[in-house]
Amino acid sequence: MTHSSSWMARPLATAFLALALGATSLSPVAVADAGPSPIALRSVTAQPAVPGVNADIRLLHHTMLGVGGQPVPATTLLLTPKGAPPVGGWPIVAWEHGTTTPGQKTCAPSQTAELDGGLTRDGFKSDYAWQIGQFVDADYAVVAPDLEGLGPDATTPYPYYSLSSLARSLIAGVVTARASEPRLSDRWAVVGHSDGGHGVLGVEALAREATGLAFVGTVASAPYVAIEAHAARFGADGRAASSQAAAQQRLMMQQFQGALMATGLKAAQPSFDEASIMGSDLAATLQHFRSLCSVAAIGVIGEAVKAKGSAFQGLNADWANQPQMHAFLAANDPAVAPGFVLRQPVLIVQGNADPFVLEALQTPFADKLKADGAPLTYKVYDGADHFSIIRLANADVLDFLHQQFAR
């Protein structure tokens, strides 16, 4: 593995570079809120060891540019291998988690033992800590943000599905990690799962905000894209289901898409009226829905659907065409964002048994990226579901990262 500079030759003061970073506007996702990005490290606290992760772990307290255009408090985990770094410093894997909650700030990696915001605790074995351990064992430093609006310091709502917020959470984490730890390399890649897989797809457009650092590539595992198409597919599958239980499960998944998008849009635009895209039954769940971690939040919608059955008043048929929602999806869903492109190397891994992010919709998205010139490697894993993809794709992910950091 080769590196472009030596940490020992870089003055410590340089690590505290650019509390106000110059922004760029490279794609539609960056246009609305691009501008100076005030990122400042505030303090660092030690974190307890995580079983299976052989790393020194610290929690970085810092600021980042929020969706409202102002600095907001944020927290990011920094995990560094034990022992001395390689020449050039530890390369950085900036890792982004999936949907741990629609809006409860305690459902964050730094606040849970498995680094997954409660997914494993609540019944979805995420393997997030295992994956982070694999990166550490490969001699990478891992930067893992709680995300804007999540974690112990959060004071603003979680802007769920905001592509620029997800990207800037990673960028701010990487910049402040280097401010706190001079033994890090200036080369970094991003890895994300599910909504984190969606989020890392937005980093390339904003990567220059991490001034002086070299962004080398993206790994997206089951990225959560094509939202309107997913909702439509779940609805159609529910209508065609042969059993009531299967029909209710698919209806719940359809409503879950809209509830998440309404939550994200409301956080970014408080004037948005949820009633403009949904009926009273789904609207009545939203306050409780937003206060829970993901597994319980799914359960709230599932119980509401079960109680009403086919009479459930949920998403309007044209919900995604409501003007504010249409603009929100066009700005944040790479599958429909006008002009969305990727020019740096990218790996997308997807399971064909994933019940949440469907391979039948992921493959057309990957095909579109390739047709638009993306240097994309796309791999589908037989029998992999939404979480088992992490272990099944691990060797390919590590090989991809090795190749990018060796360039």
pLDDT per position as a tens digit, 129-140: 999 999 999 999
**Enclosing domain of residue 255:** 230-332
List the one residue out of 158, 173, 165, 184 whose CA is nearest residue 63: 173
Residues 60 and 203 in one domain: yes
Q: Are the CB atoms for 71 and 63 separated by under 8 Å? A: yes
Say which CATH number the domain at 41 has.
3.40.50.1820
List the one residue out of 119, 316, 359 whose CA is nearest residue 226: 359
Residues 51 and 163 in one domain: yes
- Dihedral of alpha carbons 18, 1, 116, 248, sign: positive
Q: Cα–Cα distance between 101 and 296 in angstroms, integer? A: 9
Q: Cα–Cα distance between 66 and 149 in angstroms, integer? A: 9
Task: Judge whether 1 lies within some domain.
Answer: no
Residues 251 and 211 in one domain: no
Residues 379 and 259 in one domain: no
**pLDDT-derived band at 3, boundaries 50, 70, 90:** very low
- Residue 14: its pLDDT value, please? 30
Domain count, the chain: 2
Task: Judge whether 2 lies within some domain.
Answer: no
pLDDT mean over 51-60: 97
Name every residue whose Cβ is closer than 8 Å to that of residue 53 and which is 6 or more positions away in sequence: 79, 115, 129, 132, 133, 136
- Is 80 exceeded by the pLDDT of residue 4? no
pTM of the model: 0.91
Strands of 214-221's sheet in order across: 41-46, 55-65, 71-81, 141-145, 90-96, 184-193, 214-221, 346-351, 376-381
Q: Which structure tokens are listed for 229?
A: 């198409």
Final residue before a domain boundary, out of 313, 332, 351: 332
- Is 80 exceeded by the pLDDT of residue 15? no
Report the share of the chain in percent with pLDDT over 90. 90
List the one residue out of 97, 182, 108 whose CA is nearest residue 141: 182
- Is 80 exceeded by the pLDDT of residue 35? no
Report helix angle 294-308 to 244-268, nearest 10. Answer: 120
- Is 80 exceeded by the pLDDT of residue 26? no
- pLDDT tens by residue, 260-290: 999 999 999 999 999 999 999 999 999 999 9
Final residue before a domain boundary, out of 278, 312, 332: 332
Task: Enter the DSSP assignment of 136.
Answer: H
- Is 80 exceeded by the pLDDT of residue 1? no
- Residue 38: its pLDDT value, please? 85
Average pLDDT, the chain: 91
Residues 324 and 188 in one domain: no
**pLDDT-derived band at 310, boundaries 50, 70, 90:** confident
Task: Judge whether 109 lies within some domain.
Answer: yes
